[in-house]
């Protein structure tokens, strides 16, 4: 028999109380000389080793660790390895089994096709009940939804800055980008529109009456662990490069290219989703009357994710690569009010996206195949932004704060999986189905100097009720001199970062360039200087 005892103090045998004959379970039908006992992590599988059969008998329990609910599944013989087995144990994720034998005085190791599947009659656990699997699926869904929303947000941010500055479409914010390390995609050069070699890439192909702009963002956040899914730690970097044109007094049109990298660490064992994405969007703003506007964005994206799953330390690792494509759209309606020296703008916004993730199959032991997956997302929000102009002697500062309440109310994604070791059994569940309430608060400023220097910075915190939060920092800068002088600041590198400053001026047709650079974070700092004079004949 397997007898059950309840301990009033965990692991203190002196507090054990026999649960009664009604709670015990007889294994005599399978083994007359049981010698060892073990359970899986949640107590829904029990394994009894015996000398009579020299085997391991597997049972399923409908209630974890309640042996009275046990049902026999099948037996697995170890007699080929040892005829007197004494002990059985599993690794943390149940993908390896170890049997101690007295006859040969050795430990025999067995690899299981999936967690705790000892016998041929046993079945693998539903992948959706594995917290690391669920966490990785959730991370892919959130990455897709957030990238679509961030792509729209960069365009909306541009439009709000133009309205705040009563912009006429002639000033540009330009950033030249160098992705030497995709995981550390950094903002590299700040450069005006000119004949210089370091131009905003869009400036080379767009007409002269279009203005270019750029924006960089860094986000980091955490979604807490639940009883179904592992925790997620998120870090994302994004760069937007755009161009727009004022069609008339009430209409503006533009295009924006966004590239981003999103890294999500899932759980505590090393599981992760690393996604590179690129989107192309068309955006615009229509003035409905003097103080009302309607902003709109529509775009497409491509996503590529490298996925690593580790259920328990480095014991077992599964890897995979997944591609996806996406279409998204956003609408934002607002009305501007003036109160004293402040501008108050209440807004309503709707974001929708549809993402298709391709099927992929993990490599490694206990590998899972994931079918094609569609992600539908629809979110509405109400917000308010308050900004104020502060005029200084040679510059203007526009400060702002914003508050927003959003509801993710129509999101869904069906997930279908199966183990590569069992193509006949599929598992499915509906992910990302519950409604979510999201609160966002932020503040920022734009600094514009009379000589052409523009610096923009924003910070916002997004609170997902009962789940976690995301913090985002957005930065943009440019310098357009009024005296035919160009300034460029650079920050670049992978392991050793270098900072530099270049100044260029055209005098009577000759281009004069003076520059310097200094290597940061290096054991041997490197300093350099440059003087260049050129002319085109």
CATH number, domain containing residue 71: 2.120.10.30
Residues 61 and 146 occupy one common structural domain: no
Please state the rounded mean pLDDT for residues 279-307. 94
Q: Which tens digit of pLDDT belongs to each residue from 95-122?
A: 889 999 988 889 999 988 778 889 988 8
- 200 pLDDT more than 80: no
| Torsion 10-16-18-24 (CA) sign | positive
- Which of 461, 478, 495 is where one domain is finished? 478
Residues 242 and 312 occupy one common structural domain: yes
Q: What is the pTM of this model?
A: 0.71
Per-state percent for the chain, helix, strand, coil, to nearest 5: 10, 55, 35
**% of the chain exceeding 70 in pLDDT:** 79
Task: Reduce the DSSP state of residue 332 to 3 states and report it.
Answer: strand
Burial of residue 163, with CB atoms counted within 10 A of its CB: 0-12 exposed, 13-18 middle, 19 or more buried: buried
Report residue 92's pLDDT band, with 50, 70 and 90 as the boundaries: confident
C-beta of residue 30 within 8 angstroms of C-beta of residue 48: yes
Is 81 inside any structural domain? yes
- Which of 478, 498, 523 is where one domain is finished? 478
pLDDT at res. 2? 92
Q: Which tens digit of pLDDT belongs to each residue from 330-359?
A: 999 999 888 888 889 999 999 999 999 999
| Least confident span in 307-321, 407-421, 474-488 | 474-488
Residues 94 and 217 occupy one common structural domain: no
Residues 51 and 146 occupy one common structural domain: no
Is 89 inside any structural domain? yes
Residues 235 and 139 occupy one common structural domain: yes
CB atoms within 10 A of CB 448: 18
Is 265 inside any structural domain? yes
C-beta of residue 436 within 8 angstroms of C-beta of residue 407: yes
Q: Which tens digit of pLDDT belongs to each residue from 373-383?
A: 999 999 999 99
Number of H helices, E strands in the chain: 1, 32
Residues 394 and 473 occupy one common structural domain: yes
Is 312 inside any structural domain? yes
- Which of 457, 478, 499 is where one domain is finished? 478
Residues 242 and 376 occupy one common structural domain: yes
Burial of residue 220, with CB atoms counted within 10 A of its CB: 0-12 exposed, 13-18 middle, 19 or more buried: middle
Is 6 inside any structural domain? no
Report residue 434's pLDDT band, with 50, 70 and 90 as the boundaries: confident
Q: For the residues of 425-463, what is the DSSP string, one character each? A: --EEEEES-S-EEEEEEEEEEEEEETTSEEEEEEEEEEE
pLDDT at res. 183? 36
Domain count, the chain: 3
- 406 pLDDT more than 90: yes
Across the chain, mean pLDDT equals 81
Residues 386 and 436 occupy one common structural domain: yes
Residues 143 and 194 occupy one common structural domain: no
Total residues found in the chain within this entry: 537
pLDDT at res. 521? 43
pLDDT at res. 271? 93
Strands (E), 292-341: 292-310, 317-335, 337-339
Residues 35 and 157 occupy one common structural domain: no
CATH number at residue 328: 2.40.128.130
Residues 348 and 437 occupy one common structural domain: yes
Is 14 inside any structural domain? no
- 494 pLDDT more than 80: no
Residues 142 and 49 occupy one common structural domain: no
**% of the chain exceeding 90 in pLDDT:** 44
pLDDT at res. 169? 37
Q: Which tens digit of pLDDT belongs to each residue from 12-50?
A: 999 999 999 888 999 999 999 999 999 998 899 999 999
CA-CA distance, 488 to 502, in Å (whole number)?
Answer: 5
Is 4 inside any structural domain? no
Is 7 inside any structural domain? no
* Domain interval for residue 115: 19-122
- 514 pLDDT more than 90: no
């Amino acid at each position: 028999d397997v007898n059950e005892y309840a301990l009033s103090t965990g692991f203190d045998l002196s507090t054990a109380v026999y649960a009664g004959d009604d709670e015990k379970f007889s294994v005599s039908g399978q083994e007359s000389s049981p010698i060892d006992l073990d359970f899986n992590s949640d107590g829904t599988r029990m394994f009894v080793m015996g000398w009579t059969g020299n085997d391991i008998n597997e049972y399923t329990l409908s209630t974890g660790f309640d042996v009275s609910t046990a049902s026999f599944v099948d037996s697995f013989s170890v007699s080929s390895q040892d005829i007197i087995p004494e002990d059985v144990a599993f690794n943390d994720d149940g993908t390896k089994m170890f049997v101690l034998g007295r006859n040969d005085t050795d430990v025999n190791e067995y690899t299981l096709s999936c967690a705790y599947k000892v016998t041929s009659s046993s079945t693998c656990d539903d992948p959706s009940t594995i917290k690391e699997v669920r966490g990785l699926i959730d991370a892919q869904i959130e990455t897709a939804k957030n990238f679509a929303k961030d792509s729209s947000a960069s365009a909306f941010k541009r439009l709000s800055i133009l309205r705040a500055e009563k912009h006429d479409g002639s000033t540009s914010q330009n950033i030249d980008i160098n992705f030497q390390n995709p995981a550390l995609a950094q903002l590299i050069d700040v450069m005006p529109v000119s004949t210089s070699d370091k131009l905003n890439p869009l400036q080379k192909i767009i007409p002269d009456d279009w203005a270019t702009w750029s924006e960089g963002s860094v986000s980091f956040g955490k979604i807490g662990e639940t009883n179904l899914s592992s925790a997620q730690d998120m870090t994302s970097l994004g760069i937007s490069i755009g161009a727009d044109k004022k069609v008339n007094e009430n209409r503006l049109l533009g295009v924006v290219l966004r590239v981003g990298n999103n890294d999500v660490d899932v759980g505590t064992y090393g599981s992760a989703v690393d996604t590179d994405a690129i989107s192309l969007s068309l955006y615009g703003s229509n003035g409905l009357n003097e103080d009302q506007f309607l902003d709109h964005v529509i775009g497409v994206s491509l996503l590529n994710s490298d996925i690593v799953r580790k259920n328990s330390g480095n014991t077992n690792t599964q890897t995979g690569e997944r591609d996806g494509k996406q279409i998204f759209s956003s609408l934002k309606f607002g009305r501007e009010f003036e109160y004293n020296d402040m501008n108050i703008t209440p807004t309503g916004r709707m974001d929708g996206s549809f993402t298709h993730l391709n099927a992929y199959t993990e490599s490694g032991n206990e590998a899972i195949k994931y079918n094609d997956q569609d992600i539908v997302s629809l979110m509405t929000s109400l917000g308010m932004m308050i900004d104020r102009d502060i005029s200084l002697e040679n510059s203007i500062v526009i400060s702002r704060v914003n508050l927003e309440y959003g509801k993710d109310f129509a999101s869904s994604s069906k997930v279908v999986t199966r183990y590569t070791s069992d193509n006949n059994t599929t598992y499915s569940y509906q992910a990302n189905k519950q409604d979510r309430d999201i609160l966002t608060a932020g503040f920022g400023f734009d600094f514009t100097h009379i000589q052409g220097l523009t610096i923009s910075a924003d910070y916002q915190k997004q609170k997902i009720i009962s789940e976690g939060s995301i913090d985002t920092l957005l930065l943009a800068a440019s310098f357009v001199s009024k005296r035919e002088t160009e300034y460029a600041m650079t920050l670049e590198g992978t392991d050793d970062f270098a900072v530099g400053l270049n100044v260029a001026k055209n005098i009577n047709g000759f281009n004069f360039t003076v520059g310097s650079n200094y290597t940061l974070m290096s054991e041997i700092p490197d300093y350099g200087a440059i003087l260049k004079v050129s002319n085109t004949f």
